[in-house]
Amino acid sequence: MNAEELLTFAARRISGRYEVDEFGYDAELNDKVILELLRPLYRHWFRVETIGLHNLPPDGALVVANHSGTLPVDALMLQVALHDEAGRAVRLLGADLVHRLPLLGHLSRKTGHTLACKEDADRLLRKGELVGVFPEGFKGIGKPWSQRYKLQRFGRGGFVASAIRAGVPIVPCSIVGAEEIYPKIGELRLPARLLGLPYLPITPLFPWFGPLGLVPLPSKWLIEFGEPIRSDEVDPAEADDPMVVFELTDQVRETIQRSLNALRLRRGPAFFL
């Protein structure tokens, strides 16, 4: 942005004359401010590389990714990757815990996230948006270091049902690198329960070094988008058939697990010395 653009941008923001969509997504704030803040982390800290961007269909699709790293940094990096490398705004479905929190809940809406529920997923997919989901949820992001790169159960397959109803392809997405940013070697169970959190991790740096422990380790990241899995071959009426949904869920899960294994080998060690 040059000085003039910056001035009109500031004037527009101060006067409130900008668009926010019905989900609360503030595209301008997201592109010009939030992603800008995340970019150094993406480029220089994690040195993220993307593979298989051509697998993203031009229209609406559901990107299904593995979830790890204690804090949802992988979601934010996926967002930067899709914005910067593919020019796509991804609409992520988030846990209701995030939406219950002051500040974070509304900030996450402004960056285009919404609640992971059937209504919101269906509505976004119907509008032809690129929707991102992490079906492992807290089981994935909060798993211990010993379980790294082992996909957890994929919820109840609600995301597959949504894709079937909308007739959009599912793009399996494998993220390698997020597992190493905060290696979770233990858990503080009682404080977590008192704070109403799903877990409070012990990592090599946290809580020993206080806020410094929140600095993620600089692991090398790879994000791969796999070949789309068609869901439009299934009759939308079968979105309620648990058998059909489970089968497709398993297929997506196995695809991601396979590609995670290959991607890990390709990357080599997480930290360059």
Partner 1 sequence: MSPVTRTVLVTGISRHIGARLASVLAADPAISRVIGVDTVPPTSLTRDGGAQLNPLGRVEFVRVDLRSADIAQVIAAADIDTVVHMSLMSGPAGSRPAMKEHNVIGTMQLLAACQRSETVRRVVVRSTTAVYGSSPTDPAVFTEDSEPVEVPHTGYGKDAFEVEGYVRGYARRRPDVVTTTLRFANFIGPKVDSPLTRYFRAPILPTVLGFDPRLQFVHEDDGVEVLRRAALDDHPGVFNVAGDGVLLLSQCLRRARRFWIPVPAPAFRFLGEGARALGRMDFTPDQLALMSHGRVVDSGKLADEFGWVPKFTTASAFDDFLQTRSTR
State the distance between the two ends of the chain, measured CA to CA, in whole angstroms: 36
Residue reference for tokens 């929140």: 214
Residue 223 φ/ψ, nearest 5 degrees: -120, 120
Show the site string, 116-155: x = touches partner 1 by CB under 8 A, - = not.
Answer: -x-xx--x--------------------------------
Structure tokens, 95? 């846990």
**Nearer of residues 105 and 218 to partner 1, judged by Cβ:** 105
Torsion of CA 37, 42, 46, 47, to 10 degrees: -140
* 135: number of Cβ within 10 Å: 26
Question: How far is residue 185 from each of residues 6, 18, 195, 200, measured CA to CA in Å?
Answer: 45, 45, 20, 11
Measured CA to CA, the distance from residue 217 to residue 213 in angstroms comes to 9
Total of chain residues touching partner 1, rule CB under 8 A: 29
User: What's the closest the beta carbon of residue 98 comes to partner 1, in angstroms?
Assistant: 9
Q: Are 25 and 111 within 8 A, CB to CB?
A: yes
Judged by CB under 8 A, the residue of 39, 43, 44, 106 near partner 1 is: 106
Q: How far is the CB of 157 from partner 1 (least distance, A)?
A: 19
Choose which of 37, 103, 243, 265 interacts with partner 1 (CB under 8 A): 103
Residue 16 interacts with partner 1 (CB under 8 A)?
yes
Q: Is 190 in the site for partner 1 (CB under 8 A)?
A: no
Q: Is 17 in the site for partner 1 (CB under 8 A)?
A: yes
| Site stretch for partner 1 (CB under 8 A), options 10-18, 34-42, 161-169, 242-250 | 10-18
Q: Least CB distance from residue 81 to partner 1, whole Å?
A: 24
- Pick the closer one to partner 1 by CB: 14 or 190: 14
Phi first, then psi: what are they for 86, rounded to 5°? -120, -5
Pick the binder of partner 1 from 2, 4, 22, 87 (CB under 8 A).
Answer: 22
DSSP 64: E
Summarize as ranges the residues that interact with partner 1 (CB under 8 A): 13-24, 26, 96, 99-103, 105-106, 109-110, 114-115, 117, 119-120, 123
